[in-house]
Each structure stands twice: as structure tokens, then as C-alpha cells.
Chains A and B, each alone.
Chain A
Amino acid sequence: MTITLATETELPLTAAQSGMWYAQALDPLSPAQNTAECLEIDGPLDPDLFATALRRVTAEAEALRVRVADTPEGPRQYLREAVELPLLVQEMSTVAEAEAWMRADLAEPCDLATGPLFRHALFHVGEDRWLWYQRIHHLVMDGFGYSLLVRRTAEAYTALVRGEEPGPRTFGRLADLVVDDATYRSSETFAADRAHWSRAFADRPEAPRLAGRGALPSRTFHRRTAHVSPETTQRLRELAARLRATWPDLLIAAQALYTSRATAQSDVVLGLPMMGRMGSVALRVPGMVMNVLPLRLTVSPDATFAELVRQVVLGIREVRRHQRYRYEDIRRDLGLLGENRGLVGPLVNIMPFDYGVDFAGAPARARNLSAGPVDDLTVNIYDRADGRGLRIDHDGNPALYGEGELAAHQARFLHLVDRLADTDPQLPLAVHTVATPAEQALVLDEFNRTDRALPPTTLIGPIEAQAARTPDAVALVYGGTSLTYAELNARANQLAWHLQSLGARAGAVVAVSVPRSVELIVSLLAVVKAGAAYLPLDPDYPPQRLTYMLEDAAPVCAITDRAGRLPEDTGTPLVALDGLDVSMYPPVNPARALTPRHPAYVIYTSGSTGRPKGVVVPHGAIDNRLRWMQHEYGLTPGDRVLQKTPSSFDVSVWEFFWPLREGAALVLAEPGGHKDPAYLARLIREQAVTTCHFVPSMLQVFLAEPDAAACTDRLRRVFCSGEALPRETANAFGRTLPGVELHNLYGPTEAAVDVTYHACAPEGSGPVPIGRPVWNTRLYVLDAALQPCPPGVPGELYLAGVQLADGYLRRAELTATRFVADPIGPAGSRMYRTGDLARWTGKGEVEYLGRTDHQVKLRGQRIELGEIEASLAAQPGVDGACALVREDRLVGYVTGMADPAAVRAALARELPEHMVPAAVVALDVFPLSPSGKLERRELPDPVFAGGARKRPPASPREEALTGLFAQVLGVEEVGPDDAFFDLGGTSLLAVRLVTRVREDFGVELTIGSLFEAPTPAALAARLDAAGPASGDALDVVLPLRAEGTRPPLFAFHPAGGISWCYAGLTARLGPGQPVYGIQARGLVGDEPLPRTLQEEAEDYVERIREVQPQGPYRLLGWSVGGVLAHTVAVLLQEAGEEVQLLALLDAFPAEQWRERPAPEEGDALTAVLRMAGFERTDERDRDDVLATLRRAGSPLAGLSDHTLSRIVDIVPNHARMMREHRHRRYDGDLLFFTAAAPRPEHWLTREAWRPHVSGVIVNHDLDCTHPQLMRARHLDDIAAHLAARLKEFDA
């Protein structure tokens, strides 16, 4: 057959086709939209008659004969009357060879604009065995369409073989589809369907992703094929009949159950490809009609399988009523398209189409090769009635699933289907696990083999034994003080005897509120030696909280360093160490009836209901933990362990006790020192610390400290815990501290500090695992049904074993909800529910994924948002409250009449510092979801802004610092007296600020000094005192940045005489480039003003040479400053010096002004305003001008009356001198910046410089007025050009 170049019929695309067209347009070379099938035909076949049959079908099926091209009106399809049949008939020696050909063909992208969009091949692969391959672009054909084509081809071929004329054409026309589609889209049904879907998904649920994330569609997919056995298939059919459902309903329910468990979500949205032809002409049209629709199900472990199947049946019924509405349209309506967000998780594609065809008696079996693009995971299920049960293809997007992961999902799914077919459907779904038996054995037993027989000892016993072994070894170092083991032991013993006299004994609690010091260690040891459990009370906590803890824990007494440390009205006897004489007690170990089951310490943690809770940890638990740690990391007497963690944080427990059990030395940091990385780096180096701990966020801060790298000498190992350790931090650690080990530990207070451990590789990738279980500890990752999750599947982490705490002090009910019966371990054992989301890796390590509740960690401190919310809500005038963490800052939201600042202040009195919100935001109402739940996502970002009583900065340095604060904190405006940490500053942001200060001012600043001087004003004062850049802000030479090795840039003052306006250039030019402002004489004292510009310039040349005796010189000036810069440049050249750069900012030579009237006194005020970047508007007098400057936050508002009155003289003096000035010729180029907005002085032109410059004038126009030139936006531009120029010189 030849191509008949007949006319083409143009048709629009249907909505279904448009979706495909746009998907292809995103990646025109992608073959992903190629769909294909292979029919295995067993029997004799006549290839010629087969070709004839195919030609007939091609002539009948219009969709095959289109090509699709883009037009200005959008894509159109062009239907040809005839096309040549693309058919290959070939002998192939093996099936594999034929299949290889098919795979290669499938990988070829289709050219939509030329067509044809399909291809056939017929392979003869053996005696009476044929493979018929057909590949069609998804834009023109769907799965049901294939079934129509195959049946018609078989019918036509069979007739031809019999010598009969095939029956008349049965296919409908493509135009029918187009009309049908247009009719629907303008119908009321369309509007109703749209409303239905918008309503059903108004809350925009998160799509359940088995891979934990989404990805763009790939060009290919992984496929894994399996079969449900005929027996199981039969049982499924029977079960379906009993449940008055169909087998597809059951498989969809099974996939929903699997997806729910595998994603730890109860709200599951599956995608259902629908043929979309019921009750429509499309039933007889081979074409692209199918649609994917979202099926939303709630999967609860308490519901039965029968109930879930019923939900599926009713859900699909609902979906079918609105099935013509396109998936792309639903996503668009919900605003998901723009976010590139999907709505559905896995697709379940049921293909029930009847393929019982034969070719003149030769039976044929169809096999799908590609069902189209795979966004995530598609489960294709075929029932082809050939007696082999159901065929299941798992297709996965290779960007999300490797072959192994796909295989695992399939194996688990088939296993689950098997179980479901065999289990009473009236049992709750909780009886089912999604892990295969092999996976269960792995995660429950194999990964948890941690049994280790240990002697029954206590926390303190091994310390006393060590003291007896090495009495003279150094046990403790604090500043200049050090204590031997014998000394420490004796002091602790004497205090212990005293405590016993006050009632301390096994089972009792003794509070300790002592800042970090030798006395703190003595006190802790004494309490435990007396047999009691110690309760650390942070001396910095607000009295209200301390009172609560004392009343709640009812200790027999409380040790403090001095009187007045703790509230005195709680009934607890206080033992103040200051002035306490225990010398009458013996220095020997006291007797005590202590067993491993007695409590060793009680540590309070944040409580979700608003009350902190005391965790009671027994000796056996912490002893196990320390014995494991010693085995794993092997501390030696030569080790020195840093103690810097506050005692109220349980990490401190191993810092305190581990070294003392092993004969090592404990090095104490100063109180508060744990927040200062520079101090820590120094301490680690000077005290030869070998072992220490950091919370990851503090480790990040520490690594940014320039001196941190110098710690590698003695430091051997660093432990991290308290919050997720980012991989970047771990890798930064490897770079900064090569050779030092980094260990990531994990554990809640409820399980004796840590229960998992992982050694970080220096250059790892992916999330840092929290690792494997420590001795005598089991980890369970369980799903909502408390069934074990297979590796890779997220679930809640449960802990079991000897390290579990006893529970919460006097909170039996709460204890029972968190410490529950362990269904897996030995009878009677308990497990602790962490609330942490986690998953196993295939290697038996656990990865931390987040929280299941509202507990958050801020700088390692555990915070229950519920507690913050309860505190907020308890404030007068607060109606409703909510708290969350935004970008590492705690934010509170309240409704009601209360003043948010007052609420925050009140919280600061009640809660520890780390629990006080960085900001409290008042709202009229809380944003609610359609279901009435609080939409946390919709809460506004807090605006961290400076206080209301703002004064303008008093110096250029203050001004620059307020700018830096604002930039680093991401806030609009900062006043000089606003404290960094009140504006939402965190330690991480502090690092950034310190780095910026270092770059912009060339001054080394520690994080610690930021704590001491947290406002721009205080910091400026500190920099002035410390930095080499100090000096009076009104001196002739104003060092804006003195540091740097490059030739300095000298910036000359404008008419007003002050050059603070150039402060902004410093930061923009980057570190290494010194910048000096040159200012007029007489601003401060009563020096006479210069008589001529020449005289003034000569003076400046001398001042400049004091800073930089020799060239090359770099000069810049704005306005009058430009004229001065030019004059200075000429003078320098005449003295034989090189001038590298002369940059004039909107400055014009003398003769341009000469004929114009000189300004009057009033114009001095205009000049002052101009120096601040403002054009004078209606400011009448000095007070008005100052008011404007204050409003604008200009440092010029801080000028003294004297200086202002001097400026009033300086401005007209400059005006006069400039008019009298005679320019000499500058030998070189001019870099010029023009304020290009129209101006009243329209005569001004840079061309007037021509006679005074030998080289070229390189100009840059800036879209602003003359005063606006000094504003940030334009300074950016100016600095960029300058920097580029300077870089050329430096090169």
C-alpha cells in the first residue's frame, strides 16, 4: 500500500489527550508514553493474511491514523484517510531475541508531529509460534482500546482465513470522542463533578509515597512480574463473593492496607486508572479515554478487612459517579499542579478486559509490555482467564525504586494478599503484618541480638572501687583546681554521711541545685553514695518551675551551693554548701542498702499536658549503659573527659560518672561555657581533653569556630546526641577534625541516656543513622497495628530491655501509656513508646525520621509543644494558643485580648530559657481546615522586629551592625538596642553574624561575646574597644574597615563633610578591601574651615599618606566628594604617585556650578538630608530635619548641636570653594556613576569632565536621584562595578 496524500481532517484534542500531550511536551524525547503489548499466538499463522487483517483494522481505527502538532491555538490532531502499515515480519530464532528487539523499539521516542504513532511486528519464533508486537503512543490509545483492536484483528483474520469477508466495521469515530468530550465539559455534570472533587480533597491530603518522597516521571520504568497462584486467586474470588465485592475490590483494599502500613499513614489516597467508557459511545472507539481517579480510604488497625473492602466498594461507587472529571483538572483545582504535587500514592491498575481471542483457532495470550509513564509505583493486575491466576506487574519509577526495593514491595504485597485470602475477614486488620516472615525474623531477632550477661552493680560501686585502685590519680580538673580520686571520694563521703543523717537512703530523692563546679560533682557523688537518687535542678530555671519540681518530687532535702538558690517555701530542707561543715563525718564510703533496682537519678523533661514529668532511672539501667560504653569506646586512665552538659540534661550522666569509673579525669567547663565555642576550643586544647559531647547544632557552631581545628592534637572522640545529626555537620566534622572519631548516639531520658550508636564515616552520604542497639536492648519499629515494619518502612520506634526507666515519678497513668507491654519480648517485659518515627536500614541500623507527635527538639533540648501551649493559654487574656517551631525558633500564637509581648514576658518568668518562644504572635482567629482542625501550615511567619522605643544608630559602626543584624535575622529593621536573641537569633544565626562581622569589619568576635554584648550598640562598643578600627567617628580619617592587604579605597565626603554614607560600601566590597572615609575638618572642634578646595585637598593628601605612604591609590567621591577626589588624584599624580582608580558618583566639575547661585544657609539642612539619602521636602527647620533623620533611623540624627551648626557653615563653604576651583588634568580613566533620574539641575553633564581627564569616561547609569544614590539598592550596583574593577587591579 502506498501513502495516499489525501486531505487531513483537523480535530481538537480531547481533555484526556491534552493531558498526555502536555506530559510529552515536558520531555519531547521521552519514550515513556509508548505503550505496548505482545500477543503470543500458538498455532499456524499466515503472515500475509495477518497483514491484510491489520490493514483493515488500521483503516477502521481512526485513532491510529492521526498525528499531533502544536498550533497557535494549541495542539491539534490531524486524521489521515490512510497510512502505510508499519509492520515488520521477521523470523527470530529465539523469543529472547524478539523480546530484545521489542525493548529497543519501546525505547524509541515517537515523533508526534509526523506519525504514525504506532508500529507492528510479527515474529516467527518457532514451529507454530508467533509473537505479535504492537506499540502505540498513549496519546491515542489506552488499555481498553488495545482490547478492541486485538479482538477486531482476530475477528478479521479468522474471517479472511475462512475465505470470508470480515463483518462490517464496528468502531466508533474519533470525532465522536471529541464531541462527547466537549459536551461533557460544557455540561452541568462537569460543574457538579468539579465541585465534588474540590470538596472531597479540599484539605489537600499528603499523597502516600512508598519511597517516602515523590519524583518527576522518568523515561523508563522498572518492572517486576509475579503471579497470584490459581488457588489463591480462586480463594480471592470466593472471599469477594462472600463480601459481595469483586476480586479487584479486594486487591485494591489489600494495596490500601499495604500502603497505609508502609507509609505510616491512615489516610490513604490510591490512584485508580479507569477505562471511563461506561454508558458512553467510547465503548466502541479505540482511543485514549482512560482517566486516573483518586480513591481516598481510611485504614485503621481496628477495622476488619470486610469493613475495608466495603469502604473500597462504596468509595469506588462514589468515584464512578464523577469519573469523567480529569485527574489533571482535580490537581489544578486544588492548586497542586503549581506545587508539582501529586494527589495519589500507588496506582492500582486493574485490567479485566476479555482477551479470550483466537486467530482462526490458534489461541493467543496477551502480555502487556508497557502501560505508560510511571510517576511513582503502579500495580498492574491482569486477569486474562488463561487459568494461571492473576498476573501482577509492579512498575516503579527508577528515580524512586531500585530493583531490590520494587521486589520487596511486590513480595510483601503478594504475601499480604495470601494472608488476606486465608484469614477471617471479620478479624481486625491489626492481625496482619506487611513484613514477610523472613523480614520479621530479621528486624525482631537478628538486628536485636544484644544479650550480654553483666554483674549486678550500681552507678556508684565501680567509682568507689576505682578510687580504691588509683587514689592518687587526678579525678577532677576545674580551672586551676584539681582533685585526686582519694580527695574527691573523701569529700563526697563526708557529705554523703551528712545527707544520710537528713534521711537520704536507697529509694529516696535528693535535689541538687549547684552550678557547674567541684561542689557539683561532690554533691552528685554524695547523693548516690548515700543511696539516694539525685534530682538535678538547673539553678537558672525560673522559681515557679523549681517550686513545682520540688513539690512534685518531694526530695528528702536539696543541696545548693549557697542560700537563696532555691525557693524556700516548698517544705524541702535546704543544704547550703557555703559554710557547711562536714568535717565531723568520716571520709570512708558510707554503708547503704542499694540494689540495681533502686533509682539512681530523676530527671525532669517537658510534659505535653503542661506539667514537666520526672523520669526515674534505676541503677541497673544506667550501669548497663556505662558498661556498654566502656566496652565500645574503652576509656583509659590517660583520657580526659569534658563535662559541659548541664546536669538537668541526661547526657551529663555519662560525662559525670563514666570517667570516674575508669580512672580517667573529668575536666569541668565553666558555668555557661558550654555555649561559647571559642572558650570550648581553648579549654579542649589547654586541658588536653580527649572525649567530649556536642548537641549537633552546637557542634555545627563549634566547627565554625576558627580555633576548633586546633583541637585535633589530643581530642580522640566526640559524641553527638540530643537531636538529628545532619550529614553536612558530620562531614564538616571530618574535614575540620580529621582523625577524630564522631559517634552518633540516640536515646530518650526514659531509657538511660542512649540506646543506639553509630560511628560516622568521615565522608558519608545520606542520613546519618542513629545506629544499632546497645547491650541488652531491643529496638522495635512498629506500625500502627504494633506489627513490625520491614527494613525501609517507617514506623514508631519502641525500646525494650534493661535500660528502660521505671517510669514517671508519681504519674502512674502517664507511665502506663508510655511504658506498655512488650508483645514480642519475654513475657512480662515492657517497652517504651518513643514517639519517634524511624526505619531500619537493611544492615540493621535505625534511621531517625522525625516525631509522631508535637514534641520538638531545640538545640538538643526536648520540648513538648503542648507544655508551651498550656503555658500560653494560662496567661490572662489568652483565649486560644498554639506553638510550633519555625526555622529553629519556637513561636507561640495566641488569640484574645492579651498583649503578645506581655505574654512572652510572662512565659520567660515561668519557663526555662529554651522553652520561651522567640516570638508570640497575636491572631484574630486560628486558621482551620475544612474539617475544623488547626492548619499549622497556614499560621503566619512571625515578624521579628525591633522594639518600639527605637533610637537611631549613634555611629557608622552601629549603623552597619543594625544592618547586619537585620540581614542575618531576616527582619525588616533592627534598632541599636535590640538584643540579637530577642529577635529570634539562634546559635546558628549567631555563627553567621560573627562570620559577617569578621568579614565586614575584619574583627575577630566570638559567639560568647555576642552573648555578652547582644545588641548592635553593645557590640559596636566592644568592637570599638577591641578592634584596630577604633577612632572618633568625626575624625578626618574614618577607618570604615582598616583590615585588608589590598590598597585601601579612600572615599571623600560630600558637601556636609561627613563620610558615614560610605559605610554601606564596606560590606559590599567584601573582606580584604580596606575602606577609609575622608571627612571635613571642623566637625568637632572649632578648627578654621579651609579657604580653597586646593588647600583642603592638599591637607587630605597628607592624611592619606599617613595611612598609605605610597601608591597605587584608589579614590572615590560622591557629589562634592567627587570633585575632591579628582583634585586629590591630580595632586598625587603630580607628586609622582600612581592613582589606580578614580570613581566619581554623580559629581560634576567646578565650571558647571560657577555661574549658578551659591546655596544659602538653609541649603545646609538640605545637604545634611542628602548625606542621609533624602531629598528635602517640607522640613522647615533644623528640628524638622532631625525628626526626618530619626524616623529614617539615620545615624546623622545623633549628631550633636555643635556638629550640626558646623555643618551649616561647612556646606556653604564647600559651595563657595567649588565655584572658585580650577581643575587640573587627571591622567587616566574615570569611572562614573550617574544618578539618571530627571533632575532640576538638568544642565549637569559628566561630559564636562572631558577637559580634566586624559582617558575615557566609563559611565554607569543608575535609576535614581542624586540623594538616592547612597541607598542600599544602588550601593549594591555601585559596589558590584567597583568590585569588578578592583579585582582587575588585584589580579
Chain B
Amino acid sequence: MTLTLERIRTDIADCLGEEPADIPVDENLVDYGLDSVRIMALLERWRREHGVQADFADLAEQPAIEAWAPLLGVA
């Protein structure tokens, strides 16, 4: 099952303790509390559930939903 933009947003909001509506797709997620532990947790989950191939550095280098979408196989 492939990831959708909404799924990504929901998962991120979940691990940050925020509402999905409060997470913009074009902003630096670090400002919203995203850190390496959370990225790894998300990555682990997405690898397991969605077969994602990206690695930690890929995601951590540009921590924004828009930048992640192509890396995570979202069309």
C-alpha cells in the first residue's frame, strides 16, 4: 500500500502530538518538534507498512512534507 500525502501528514502530526490540520506541508518540520528519534520512528513505520526505501539522511536533510513526498513514493 503506497503512502499518501494525507497519511504522511497524519502520521507526523501523531508523533508530534499535534492535529494534522496544524502541520503545513511546506514548512520546516523541525520547528514543529520533529527530531531524529521521531524521523527514525516514522521511517521504521513507513518501511514496515509501506515498503519505503528512503534512508534517514534523505529525510533529515530536507524536513518538510513536500520534500519528502517524492522520496516516500508519493506521486
A278 touches B36 (CB 8 A): yes
Q: Nearest Cβ in chain B — how far from A1090, in angstroms? A: 95
* A279-B62, A283-B60, A352-B40 known; A320-B17 Cβ under 8 A: no
Binary B-proximity of A238-269 (CB < 8 A = 1, otherwise 0): 00000111111000000000000000000000
Number of interface residues of B (CB under 8 A): 22
A278 and B37 form a contact (CB under 8 A): no
Whole-angstrom distance from the CB of A968 to the nearest CB of chain B? 60
Q: B35: which of A320, A353, A354 is its contact (CB, 8 Å)?
A: A320
CA gap between A139 and B67 in the complex, in Å: 32
**A277-B60 CB under 8 A given contacts A320-B30, A320-B31:** yes
> Across the interface, which residues of B come within 8 angstroms of A243, CB to CB?
17
How distant is B57 from chain A, measured CB to nearest CB, in Å? 5
Given contacts A320-B35, A354-B40, contact A278 B60 (CB under 8 A): yes
* CB<8 Å pairs between A and B, sample of 9: A243-B17, A244-B16, A245-B17, A246-B35, A310-B17, A313-B17, A314-B33, A320-B35, A352-B40
> Within the assembled complex, what's the spacing in Å between the Cα atoms of A275 and B60?
11
- Give B1-57 interface residues, CB cut-off 8 Å to A: 14-17, 28, 30-38, 40-41, 56-57
A278 contacts B30, CB within 8 Å?
A: yes
Closest chain B residue, CB of each to CB of A243: B17
- 4 closest A-B pairs (Cβ-Cβ)? A244-B17, A317-B33, A283-B57, A352-B37
Q: Is the CB of B32 within 8 A of A354?
A: no
A321 touches B57 (CB 8 A): no
Which A residues lie within 8 Å of B41 (CB)?
A: 246
Q: If the complex has contacts A245-B17, A246-B41, A278-B30, are A316 and B57 also in contact, measured as CB distance less than 8 A? A: no
Bound together, the chains give a CA A279 to CA B62 distance in angstroms of: 5
Q: Give the docked Cα–Cα distance between A247 and B37 (Å).
A: 9
Chain B residues within an 8 Å CB radius of A321: 30-31
**Cα of A320 to Cα of B17 in the assembled complex, Å:** 16
Whether B31 and A280, one on each chain, are in contact in the complex, defined by CB atoms closer than 8 angstroms, is no
B38 touches A246 (CB 8 A): yes
Docked CA distance A354–B37 (Å): 10
- The smallest beta-carbon distance between B15 and chain A, in angstroms, is 7
Q: Which residue in chain B gives the minimum CB-CB distance to A314?
A: B33
- Bound complex: CA of A221 vs CA of B35, how far in Å? 29
- CB of A173, distance to nearest CB on chain B (Å): 15
Say whether A275 contacts B36, CB under 8 Å. Answer: yes
Cβ-defined contact, B60 with A244, below 8 A: no
A280 in contact with B36 given A245-B17, A321-B30 (CB within 8 Å): no
Q: Which B residues are in CB contact (< 8 Å) with A281? A: 61
A297–B63 CA distance with the chains assembled, in angstroms: 27
Instruction: State in angstroms the CA–CA spacing of A317 and B16 once bound together.
Output: 10
A317: which B residues are within 8 A, CB to CB?
31-33
Give the docked Cα–Cα distance between A320 and B32 (Å).
Answer: 9
Kindly list 20 other residue pairs between chains A and B, CB separation below 8 angstroms, not including A246-B15, A284-B57, A352-B36. A244-B15, A245-B17, A275-B36, A278-B30, A278-B34, A278-B36, A278-B60, A279-B28, A279-B61, A279-B63, A283-B60, A313-B17, A316-B33, A316-B35, A317-B32, A320-B30, A323-B30, A350-B37, A353-B36, A354-B56
The tally of residues in A whose CB lies under 8 Å from a CB in B reads 26
Q: Which residues of A711-756 have CB atoms within 8 Å of chain B's CB atoms?
A: none
Query: Measured between alpha carbons, how far is A517 from B16 in the docked complex, in Å?
Result: 77
Closest beta carbon of chain A to B24's beta carbon, Å: 15
Contact with B along A273-291 (1 / 0, CB 8 A): 0010111110110000000
How far does the alpha carbon of A623 sit from the alpha carbon of B33 in the complex, in Å?
64
Task: Please name all residues of chain B whose beta carbon is closer than 8 Å to the beta carbon of A246 when the two chains form the complex.
Answer: 15, 35, 37-38, 41
Q: How far is the CA of A317 from the CA of B63 in the complex (A)?
A: 14
- Within the assembled complex, what's the spacing in Å between the Cα atoms of A280 and B17? 24
Contacts of A278 in B (CB 8 A): 30, 34-36, 60, 63
Residues of the A chain whose Cβ atoms lie less than 8 Å from the Cβ of B56: 354
For window 305-331 of A, CB contacts with B under 8 Å fall at: 310, 313-314, 316-317, 320-321, 323
A244 vs B19: C-alpha distance in the bound complex, in angstroms? 12
Return chain A residues, CB-CB under 8 Å to B32: 317
Residues of B contacting A245 in the complex (Cβ-Cβ under 8 angstroms) = 17
Cα of A245 to Cα of B35 in the assembled complex, Å? 11
B21 → A minimal CB distance (Å): 16
Chain B residues with CB under 8 A of A244: 14-17
B31 to chain A, nearest CB (A): 5
Inter-chain CA distance A350–B15, complex, in Å, is 18
Residues of B within 8 A of A248 (CB): 37
CA distance A156 to B33 in the complex (A): 35
Residues of B within 8 A of A247 (CB): 37
Q: Which residue of B has the minimal Cβ distance to A247?
A: B37
Contacts of B57 in A (CB 8 A): 283-284
Q: Which residue of B lies closest to A278 (CB)?
A: B30
Min CB distance A688 to B, Å, is 76
How many whole Å from A491's CB to the nearest CB in chain B?
80
- In the complex, how many angstroms separate the beta carbon of B26 from the nearest chain A beta carbon? 13
Task: Give the distance in Å from the alpha carbon of A246 to the alpha carbon of B40 in the complex.
Answer: 11
Residue in B closest to A249 when the chains form the complex, CB atoms: B37
What residue in chain B is nearest A147 (Cβ atoms)? B56
Name which of B41, B60, B63 has the most chain A CB atoms within 10 A of its CB.
Answer: B60
Q: Inside 8 A of A314's CB, which chain B residues have their CB?
A: 33
- Residues of A contacting B17 with CB < 8 Å? 243-245, 310, 313
Q: Complex formed: what's the CA distance from A281 to B36 in Å?
A: 15
By beta carbon, the residue of chain B nearest A277 is: B60
Q: How far is the CA of A354 from the CA of B14 in the complex (A)?
A: 22
CB-based contact B33/A313 at 8 Å: yes
**CB-based contact A283/B30 at 8 Å:** no
User: How far apart are the CA atoms of A514 and B8 in the complex, in Å?
Assistant: 86
Q: What separation, in Å, do the CA atoms of A1098 and B24 have in the docked complex?
A: 106
Instruction: Select A279's contact among B30, B37, B38, beta carbons within 8 Å.
Output: B30
| Closest residue of A by beta carbon distance from B33 | A317
Bound-state CA distance A281–B61 (Å) is: 7
Q: Which residues of B contact A284 (CB under 8 A)?
A: 57, 61
State which residues 336-381 of A face B: CB under 8 Å. 350, 352-354
Nearest A residue to B34 via CB reads A278
- A290: min CB distance to chain B, Å: 12
Give the CA-CA distance A68 to B3 in the complex, in Å: 48
Minimum distance in angstroms from B44 CB to a CB of chain A? 9
Docked CA distance A275–B56 (Å):
14
Q: Which of A279, A320, A350 contacts B60 (CB 8 A)?
A: A279
Contact residues in A for B37 (Cβ distance below 8 Å): 246-248, 350, 352
| A280 and B61 contact, CB distance less than 8 A | yes
| Shortest beta-carbon distance from A184 to chain B in Å | 14
CA distance A323 to B37 in the complex (A): 16
Residues of A within 8 A of B28 (CB): 279
A248 to B63, CA, bound (A): 20
Interface bits A758-793 vs B (CB < 8 Å: 1, else 0): 000000000000000000000000000000000000
Q: In the bound complex, how far is the Cα of B17 from the Cα of A244, in angstroms?
A: 5
Shortest CB-to-CB span from B41 to chain A, Å, is 7
Closest chain B CB from A417 CB (angstroms) = 17
Kindly list chain A residues whose C-beta atoms are within 8 Å of the C-beta of B16: 244
Q: With A and B bound together, what is the CA distance between A313 and B35 in angstroms?
A: 11
The docked-state distance in angstroms from the alpha carbon of A275 to that of B34 is: 13
B17 smallest CB distance to A (angstroms) = 3
CA A277 to CA B35, docked complex, whole Å: 10
How far does the alpha carbon of A323 sit from the alpha carbon of B57 in the complex, in Å? 18
User: Of all chain A residues, which has the CB nearest B38?
Assistant: A246
- Interfacial chain A residues near B62, Cβ < 8 Å: 279
